[in-house]
Amino acid sequence: MSDITANTSVPRSAPRREAPVATTGALAWLRANLFSGWLSTAVTLALGYLIVRAVMGLVDWAFINAIWSVPIAPNGQAQTQACRELQGSGACWAVVTEKHRFMLFGTYPYEQHWRPALVCVLFVGLYVVSAMRRFWNWTLVPIWMGTLTVIGILMWGGVFGLPYVPQERWGGLPITLILATFGLAFAFPLSILVALGRRSNLPAIKVLCVLYVELIRGVPLISLLFMASVMFPLFLPEGMNIDKLLRAQIAFILFAGAYLAEVVRAGLQGLPKGQYEAADAMGLSYWQKTGLIILPQALRMVIPPLVNTFIGFFKDTSLVLIIGIFDLLTAGKTAIVEPAWQGFGVEVYVFVGLIYLVFCFAMSKYSAGLEADLNKHRRR
């Protein structure tokens, strides 16, 4: 009996074997997507050659053959002969080295550049704190108010021994951050109210919200800036004047609020009707239902288009050039007006573009992570 039991025991399973390299892994992906046939292989090799040549040319231009500084003559003029002798074979980063302060801070007094530099650091710190979910409560309000108050004191001065600097001297990166930050901070709650107003059962509120959205979305931002700069002062009482930067800020808030309102309304319409009915069945008031149930779900659904609008709005701040405000891009253009630096605009635009890229890429990556985190329940 023991022999029969021994002979009928369950055989051991065969050792686990890895899948063939030809069907899984990087080599399999390359074979399936880049070298699946003779035509695919030829195109891949041709494009690879062009990409390698382009990368090598870019490295040569941006680093190997580049000039990072030039001597300054006794009269203060930069001696850019070495840059011009390159004839485009290398980048003249000396223009960024010499003009970076003007590009970043405009005509702000040179000896006071630490103030707008500190303002930029405070803005970045404010963004980081606002991105932390542990601060998504009422404690964020005093943080915002306190930081913005300090920013205003630093830029204007006139108190605590800081020399007063009029708004006309502001420029560069702080202007871009001020317009974008204040614009989005006020436009977002405005957009929520307008989106709710368009879905209101009260005809007067609904008509006003529809007119506002259609009017603002029906004209370009440039026209709003012109109206804020030229026409708006005509309606003010005699002797009363509003700062040009504030007028541009109001135009940006109205413009961004109209576009964001449509994004928020799309989220409200995309929410299942059962959510509204369930909230009504619980006996919640309109504001309780909207604030606790409807809006959190609607905003979660439209995170990608919201951030897309934020990024576009951040870049649209460069349009304030038409009303005489020197933002980051305008300061970069003005930096190469000097005859000694004319012809080196590519280097300036690359420098300015990298700054825009850092801020826009950070917004994009953060929104992608936030969307994935808030929508985990949908993948279960």
pLDDT tens track for 186-213: 999 999 999 999 999 899 999 999 999 9
**Does 116 map to a domain?**
no
**Does 59 map to a domain?**
no
pLDDT recorded at residue 25: 73
pLDDT recorded at residue 52: 97
Q: What are the tokens at 6?
A: 């021994």
pLDDT tens track for 36-87: 889 999 999 999 999 999 999 999 999 999 999 888 877 777 778 889 888 8
pLDDT tens track for 76-115: 777 788 898 888 889 999 999 999 999 999 999 999 999 9
What average pLDDT does the segment 30-34 reach? Answer: 85
pLDDT recorded at residue 1: 47
**Does 24 map to a domain?**
no
DSSP state of 219: S
Q: Evaluate if residue 216 carries a pLDDT over 50.
A: yes
Structural domain for 356, as ranges: 81-108+165-379
pLDDT recorded at residue 280: 86
Q: What's the sign of the alpha-carbon dihedral 366, 371, 377, 380? A: negative
Q: Evaluate if residue 138 carries a pLDDT over 90.
A: no
Cβ neighbours of residue 342 closer than 8 Å, sequence gap 6 or more: 336
Q: Is the CB of residue 191 less than 8 Å from the CB of residue 257?
A: yes
What average pLDDT does the segment 280-296 reach? Answer: 89
Q: Evaluate if residue 339 carries a pLDDT over 80.
A: yes
* Measured distance CA(188)–CA(288) in Å, rounded: 19
**Does 20 map to a domain?**
no
> What integer best gives the mean pLDDT of the chain?
88
Instruction: Give the best-scoring range by mean pLDDT among 5-9, 142-146, 339-343.
Output: 142-146
Structural domain count, the chain: 1
pLDDT recorded at residue 125: 95
**Does 93 map to a domain?**
yes
**Does 27 map to a domain?**
no
The runs of H, that is alpha helices, within the chain are 2-7, 25-33, 38-59, 81-85, 94-105, 114-131, 140-156, 173-198, 203-217, 221-226, 244-270, 273-281, 286-289, 295-301, 303-316, 328-335, 345-374
Q: Domain holding 287: CATH number?
A: 1.10.3720.10
**Does 74 map to a domain?**
no
pLDDT tens track for 6-28: 455 555 666 676 655 556 678 88
pLDDT tens track for 125-134: 999 999 988 8
pLDDT recorded at residue 21: 52
Higher pLDDT pick, 286 / 50: 50
Q: Evaluate if residue 236 carries a pLDDT over 80.
A: no
Q: Evaluate if residue 337 carries a pLDDT over 80.
A: yes
pLDDT recorded at residue 115: 97
Distance between the two ends of the chain, CA-based, in angstroms? 52
**Does 310 map to a domain?**
yes
Distance of CA 131 to the CA centre of its chain: 14
